[in-house]
Amino acid sequence: MIWIVIEMLFPALLIILPMSLYRSNLFFMAKFYLRMAGSESARKLYVQCMLIFLLLYHYVYAGGHFGISIWKDICTQPHDSTQTTYINIGLLSTMNRLNGVGINALGSVVHDDMNGVQITGLANLAGGTMRGVQLAGISNISGDNTVGLSAAGLVNITGDRAQGVVISGLTSIGGDNNSGLMISGFMNVTGNMASGLHFSGIANITGQIFGGLMASGLLNVVGEHMNGLQIAGIANITASKLNGVQVALCNYATKARGLQIGLVNYYKEDMKGFQLGLVNANPDTKVQMMVYGGNATPANIGVRFKNQLFYTILGVGSMYQGLNDKFSASASYRAGLSFPLYKGLSISGDLGYQHIEAFDNKDEVIPKRLYALQARANLEYQFTKKFGIFATGGYGLTRFYNKSSNYDKGAIIEAGIVLF
pLDDT over 70 (residue 256):
yes
Largest CA distance in the chain: 122
Range in 16-25, 113-122, 158-167, 360-369 with the lowest mean pLDDT: 16-25
Q: What is the pTM of this model?
A: 0.74
- Which pLDDT band holds residue 71 (cuts at 50, 70, 90)? low
Q: Report the pLDDT value the prediction gives residue 72, as an integer from 0 to 100.
A: 57
- Report the residue count for the chain: 420
The pLDDT tens digits of the residues spanning 175-194 come to 888 999 999 999 999 998 99
Cα 391 → chain centroid: 48
The set of residues, in sequence order, having a beta carbon less than 8 Å from that of 23 and lying 6+ positions away, is none
Question: Is residue 244 domain-shared with residue 338, that is, in the same domain?
Answer: no
Question: Is residue 307 domain-shared with residue 256, that is, in the same domain?
Answer: no
Share of the chain above pLDDT 70, in %: 86
CA–CA dist 396, 399 (Å, integer)? 10
Q: How many domains does the chain have?
A: 3
Half-sphere exposure of 44 (CA within 13 A, CB side): 3
Q: Report the pLDDT value the prediction gives residue 4, as an integer from 0 to 100.
A: 53
Amino acid (1-letter code) at residue 254 = T
Question: Is residue 359 domain-shared with residue 255, that is, in the same domain?
Answer: no
Last residue of a domain, one of 11, 46, 63: 63
- CA-nearest of 339, 335, 355 to 347 is 339
- Which pLDDT band holds residue 160 (cuts at 50, 70, 90)? confident
- Which pLDDT band holds residue 11 (cuts at 50, 70, 90)? low
pLDDT over 70 (residue 126):
yes
Pick the more confident residue, 324 or 223. Answer: 223
Question: Is residue 304 domain-shared with residue 414, that is, in the same domain?
Answer: yes
Q: Report the pLDDT value the prediction gives residue 95, as an integer from 0 to 100.
A: 86
Question: Is residue 196 domain-shared with residue 274, that is, in the same domain?
Answer: yes
Which residues span the domain enclosing 47? 2-63
Question: Is residue 325 domain-shared with residue 255, that is, in the same domain?
Answer: no
Share of the chain above pLDDT 90, in %: 63
Last residue of a domain, one of 63, 86, 111: 63
Last residue of a domain, one of 22, 38, 63: 63
Mean pLDDT, residues 270-285 taken together: 90
Pick the more confident residue, 132 or 42. Answer: 132
* 311 located within any domain: yes
Question: Is residue 221 domain-shared with residue 180, that is, in the same domain?
Answer: yes
Question: Is residue 331 domain-shared with residue 237, that is, in the same domain?
Answer: no
Mean pLDDT, residues 318-329 taken together: 86
Written as one string, the DSSP assignment of 306-348 is E-SSEEEEEEEEE--TTS-SS--EEEEEEEEEEEEEETTEEEE
pLDDT over 80 (residue 65):
no
Mean pLDDT, residues 125-152 taken together: 94
Q: Report the pLDDT value the prediction gives residue 339, as an integer from 0 to 100.
A: 95
Q: Report the pLDDT value the prediction gives residue 309, as an integer from 0 to 100.
A: 87
pLDDT over 70 (residue 123):
yes
Question: Is residue 345 domain-shared with residue 405, that is, in the same domain?
Answer: yes
- Which pLDDT band holds residue 235 (cuts at 50, 70, 90)? very high
How many degrees, rounded to 5, is the angle at CA 247 between CA 254 and CA 337?
75
pLDDT over 90 (residue 19):
no
CA–CA dist 400, 52 (Å, integer)? 87
Q: Report the pLDDT value the prediction gives residue 38, as an integer from 0 to 100.
A: 78
DSSP tag of 174: -
CATH number of the domain at 300, please.
2.40.160.20
Range in 27-36, 143-152, 295-304, 311-320 with the lowest mean pLDDT: 27-36
- CA-nearest of 188, 151, 145 to 166 is 151
The set of residues, in sequence order, having a beta carbon less than 8 Å from that of 50 and lying 6+ positions away, is 14
Mean pLDDT, residues 130-140 taken together: 95
